[in-house]
Homo-oligomer: A and B are copies of this chain.
Amino acid sequence: MDRYVRRLPDLVSFQPGKGAKADLFRGDRLFVGLNCFEPGQSQPAHVHAGADKFYYVVSGRARFAVGDQSFEAEAGAVVWAPADVAHGVEQALERTVMLVGIAPPPR
């Protein structure tokens, strides 16, 4: 595997029941990965204490919850989940691939 580059088409996968994840890169300060959802799948609201996070919707469309807000985001949207703010994917409305970054990386 190349040291400095990953190609999403090689890493996207889906599974029944709940979203599938893939790790792309992990440094001391930043984690980058994928979250892949079939339509109807969700990610329960959760908090990363002291860690900022974003989702970039690569393809598809999903309903997100961040803090007290709930909104749809589709391909081309960046969703921001600041440190200590509860966030999750209420429901994937299509087959949806998201690039995710978390800083600092989860343990």
Contacts and interface: CB of A to CB of B under 8 A. Distances in A.
A61 interface: no
B5 A79 contact: yes
Interface string A62-96: 00101101010100111111110000000000000
What's the number of copies of this chain in the assembled complex?
2
| Interface size band for A | 35 or more
- Closest 9 pairs between A and B when the two form their complex, measured CB to CB: A103-B103, A27-B52, A30-B52, A30-B103, A4-B66, A29-B103, A25-B80, A29-B52, A8-B76
A101 B30 contact: yes
Given A101-B54, A103-B103, A82 B8 contact: no
Contacts of A71: 2, 4-5
